[in-house]
Structure 1
């Protein structure tokens, strides 16, 4: 009788024992389980990162200054009238104009249009986040509350450096927008169509490395440059 060799790996040192990759272990459905990094990336894809909100310091300061000046002027005139002094000339002129001018007067319509435009502007500032020059990055499963953004000029610089590494590209100009990346390249040698295909592929890989929450579409234009 031959002795039972026992389970595989008995009698071997830890460095000599074969290792079984955990990522290949089949799950309940019979498919291989994905790696932890892949699972984290898949979970992170479901989270949508939003553009950060602007503090709106300048518009808020302008509106507060206008309201403060108007309130102080009106209050000072009311206090002067209560003290027995005549009302200010600007107040009498404004009261007479509002009482005597018809509704279809040019100045009345101009003032109403200006007030309506200012109101719409303030509503747009209140409902939109602003900071259109920043591109939000994807959040990960490890840090779901982490919010990061990338400047458009910085993204354009990285994409331009990647474009210049393509053989045949002598000069490149890249502009990054929210939904589109426009790249223009001057071809020194090689077939422009091949350079365009390589440039599109390289820019796509570099764009994916930026980990943008909403990857923009890439538009490439090339032209032959001689001399």
Structure 2
């Protein structure tokens, strides 16, 4: 069985709109090129664009602004393509053909509830990351070492019962 992979965000709509825009623009250029090759005059927008390009230089403000906007649009598209996806969703171990995940906040809440069941714990803060769980507990009547040992055991069981594909390492801090 292969290890479950990280969840990726669905970017179908932006990808489809970008593909349609590129397809329409390429079709327009192809039609105009075929018309010119067939002996017809170029479309009016192309003649105007050629005239503008004769008058404009790369150092003109309008050309620089247009270039900056195109570079920004390209950077945004690259960011969307390379972004890691749904980082708040932790993959769980699953049977073949089934993908399951749990939100980080839900997993942190489960672990917090488990930690609050330990005798001597007054309050708990849990920060769930992809590779580590930070637990800060406040104890009020038991020895700190005893509370820490009980928390370690309870949290190890809780992390195992979450069924995460890559169980995070707990980091427990106990104070008065």
TM > 0.5: yes
**C-alpha separation between the residues in 2 aligned to 1:165 and 1:159?**
10
The aligned counterpart of 2:91 is 136
Instruction: Measure how far apart 1:109 and its partner are.
Output: 6.1
Please identify the structure whose Cα radius of gyration is greater.
1
**C-alpha separation between the residues in 1 aligned to 2:65 and 2:96?**
54
The aligned counterpart of 2:40 is none
Q: TM-score when scaled to structure 1?
A: 0.56
Question: Any unmatched runs of 5+ in structure 1?
Answer: 1-45, 79-85
SS in 2 for 1:166: coil
Instruction: Measure how far apart 1:52 and its partner are.
Output: 3.0
Structure number with higher relative contact order (C-alpha < 8 Å, ≥ 6 residues apart): 2
**C-alpha separation between the residues in 2 aligned to 1:122 and 1:133?**
17
Is residue 151 of structure 1 aligned with residue 103 of structure 2? yes
Q: Any conservation in 2 of the 1:182–1:218 contact (CA below 8 Å)?
A: yes
Equivalences, count: 160
The aligned counterpart of 1:53 is 8
The aligned counterpart of 2:167 is 215
Q: Any conservation in 2 of the 1:135–1:152 contact (CA below 8 Å)?
A: yes
Q: Cα RMSD (Å) of the superposition?
A: 3.7
Instruction: Measure how far apart 1:152 and its partner are.
Output: 1.5
Alignment of 1:33-112 (within 5 A): 47-57=2-12, 59-60=14-15, 63=18, 67=21, 95-96=52-53, 99-102=56-59, 107=65, 110-111=68-69
Is residue 205 of structure 1 aligned with residue 157 of structure 2? yes
Q: Any conservation in 2 of the 1:103–1:109 contact (CA below 8 Å)?
A: no
Q: TM-score when scaled to structure 2?
A: 0.70
